[in-house]
């Protein structure tokens, strides 16, 4: 059977072995944390670039919508003017026709 106790040197060797294992584990953890930090920073940079691109696209879209709205309003104003002018001419033609019919009827009564 083995001995039940350790010598002081064996204890120190065991402590050194455990401490070395803890130091190695801590070093590996630090490397892993650094890699995670770098990956997180890279992802944040990518997201930032994408947000910036989307912001520019939204601004471009807003500009296009504003231009389209202004152009549409101009066309609607022009069409409204054309409709008013056509309505005025039609009214004048109807007035002239009614007047001519009135004169025709008045001439038949005589």
- How do residues 67-91 score in pLDDT, each as one tens digit? 999 999 999 999 999 999 999 999 9
Query: What is the token pair recorded at 45?
Result: 């940079």
Residue-level pLDDT at 106: 84
Distance separating alpha carbons of residues 92 and 57, to the nearest angstrom: 52
Interacting residues of 6 by C-beta distance below 8 A, sequence separation 6+: 14
Q: What is the pLDDT of residues 12-30, one digit of tens each?
A: 999 999 999 999 999 999 9
Mean pLDDT of 22-51: 97
Q: Supply the pTM of this predicted model.
A: 0.55
Instruction: Answer yes or no: is pLDDT of 2 > 80.
Output: no
Mean pLDDT computed over 42-69: 98
């Amino acid at each position: 059977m083995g001995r039940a106790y350790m010598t002081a040197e064996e204890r120190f060797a065991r402590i050194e072995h455990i401490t070395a294992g803890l130091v190695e584990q801590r070093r590996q953890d630090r490397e892993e944390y650094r890699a995670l930090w770098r990956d997180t920073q890279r992802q944040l940079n990518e997201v930032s670039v994408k947000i910036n691109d989307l912001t520019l696209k939204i601004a471009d879209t807003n500009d296009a919508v504003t231009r389209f709205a202004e152009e549409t309003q101009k066309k609607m104003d022009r069409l409204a003017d054309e409709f008013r002018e056509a309505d005025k001419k039609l009214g004048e033609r109807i007035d002239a026709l009614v007047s001519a019919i009135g004169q025709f009827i008045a001439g038949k009564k005589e």
